[in-house]
Amino acid sequence: MADLSVNICGIDSPNPFWLASAPPTNTGDQISRAFDAGWGGAVWKTLGEPIENVYSRYSSVDINGHRMMGLNNIELITDRSLEDNLVEIQEVKRRHPDNALIVSLMVESTPEAWDEIIKQVEQAGADGIELNFGCPHGMSERGMGSAVGQVPEYTCDITTWAKASATTPVFVKLTPNITDIRAAARAAKNGGADAVSLINTINSITGVDLDSFTPRPVVGDKSSHGGYCGPAVKPIALNMVSSIAADPFTQDLPISGIGGIQTWQDVAEYILLGATTIQVCTAVMHYGYRIVEGMSEGLSNYLDSKGMASVNELRGLSVDRVTDWQDLDINYVVKASIDQDACIGCGICYIACQDGAHQAIGAKRSEEGRTDVWIIEDACVGCNLCSLVCPVQGCITMEERDVGQTHMTWNEFAGDEPPGELIPRPKHGITIGGD
């Protein structure tokens, strides 16, 4: 069985599965129960100055009957006293000395404020601290949260203050509400950060109540933008994680990946793109702590199937497979292929290709009332759309074609002396008639 233990910045964790700083880590009791369930680490819900939260806090995006595909959260940092939290931190570490316990912090932007709270949480036994530079809502007027994370200079300065006070590793939690995540990551590293966590939530309004005209979540007759999380943000998070892992300046900066993680497959993808640990919030709010059991079993079995003895062997294997568009092989060809025995004749692929792609699927109505479909090979550009919309797994596959041409990038093609020939481009299967 593969070894799931990891070490990040000198902090040992029995596995890479951590809870993110969020409602699931609001109390010591919650975190203790999570550790008992199998979570390797947790980031304590953000501590700081006393906060009064509103009562209506969450809203969600539901898609085709699937609940909470995206969650919007306007809850601020903990509204429990610092004193109570410190006592519970100490107790959790006493009961679970082998689990990783990081404490998230967000205070006003002065060296004195950071120094005071860092010393308090370290004295309570925290294994590390996480600087919350990502909170997208509330307290920006006090120079906190994303108001810091959106300005690289502020990120660098406050990280420097924290490092001057801290004796444990310092994680910097980055906001995705920024043009280029690499700028923030570089600033964190320049400030001395030991690691980065990303992504925090994305500024969002999930919808509007069509009767009251008030955006959700409704607080009286008003609302506010909140932080968007859940499965819907995973593609954004993966891109940002890989960007930091590939950047020459930050590629050696340990990463704790966050965003839309629900399954062991999600965990594996984050690790492949450079993360050492992952952090989960929304999935636990939806399904509870026990989801870690499936994550642990699934990741272990996956590593065994790949002949890998540890998580460390998986880390970063996909980073160098992400490149700029102009470096892709424009002579690489795939075509769609339909398994006629598996096809149920629904016609969804035909409609999608006709109206939304390249008119490369032919169709006719059979006597039995089904829609028979086939690929128009000369028109197919291998866009993948038909395979994505097909409701039958494996019915439509994308098959590589040997076109007899050498590898060629756009930069090579557009150069003064292109090496080799460009393959002929497909023609659309439909032309518009005359009168």
For 55, the token pair is 């009562």
Question: Contact at 8 Å (CB) between 198 and 258?
Answer: yes
Question: Contact at 8 Å (CB) between 132 and 141?
Answer: no
For the chain, the residue count is: 435
Give dist(CA 297, CA 95) in Å, integer. Answer: 25
Q: What is the pLDDT of residue 142?
A: 56
| Annotation marks residue 135 as catalytic | yes
| Kind of pairing between the strands at 58-63 and 66-73 | antiparallel
Domains of the chain: 6-321 (3.20.20.70), 325-414 (3.30.70.20)
For 280, the token pair is 């989960």
For 143, the token pair is 């120079």
Residue for token pair 């951590």: 18
Give dist(CA 348, CA 391) in Å, integer. Answer: 8
Dihedral Cα 33, 38, 43, 44, nearest 10 deg: 10
Q: Which of 9, 135, 281, 349 is catalytic?
A: 135
Q: What is the pLDDT of residue 6?
A: 98
Q: What is the pLDDT of residue 266?
A: 98
Q: What is the pLDDT of residue 136?
A: 67
Q: Is the torsion defined by CA of 281, 283, 289, 293 positive or negative?
A: negative
Residue for token pair 């659309």: 428
> What string of H, E and C letters represents the secondary structure of the chain?
CCECCEEECCEEECCCEEECCCHHHCCHHHHHHHHHHCCCEEEEEEEECCCCCCCCCEEEEEECCEEEEEEEECCCCCCCCHHHHHHHHHHHHHHCCCCEEEEEEECCCCHHHHHHHHHHHHHCCCCEEEEECCCCCCCHHHCCCHHHHCCHHHHHHHHHHHHHHCCCCEEEECCCCCCCHHHHHHHHHHCCCCEEEECCCEEECCCECCCCCCECCCECCECCCEEEECHHHHHHHHHHHHHHHHCCCCCCCCEEEECCCCCHHHHHHHHHCCCCEEEECHHHHHHCCCHHHHHHHHHHHHHHHCCCCEHHHCCCCCHHHCCCHHHCCCCCEEEEEECCCCCCCCCHHHHHHHHHCCCCEEEEECCCCCEEEEECHHHCCCCCHHHHHCCCCCCEEEEEECCCCCCCCHHHHHCCCCCCCCCCCCCCCCCCCCC
Instruction: Indicate the burial class of 60 (C-beta count within 10 angstroms; 0-12, 13-18, 19 or more).
Output: buried
Low-confidence ranges of the chain (pLDDT < 70): 50, 136-144, 416-419, 428-435
Question: Contact at 8 Å (CB) between 190 and 162?
Answer: no
| Kind of pairing between the strands at 371-375 and 361-365 | antiparallel
Q: What is the pLDDT of residue 131?
A: 96
Give dist(CA 196, CA 310) in Å, integer. Answer: 22
Residue for token pair 């292929």: 337
Which residues have CB under 8 Å from 361's CB, separation 6+?
Answer: 336, 349, 350, 353, 354, 373, 374, 375, 376, 386, 429
Give dist(CA 345, CA 364) in Å, integer. Answer: 10
Which residues have CB under 8 Å from 311's CB, separation 6+?
Answer: 2, 3, 4, 5, 6, 15, 16, 271, 299, 303
Cα 168 to chain center, whole Å? 26
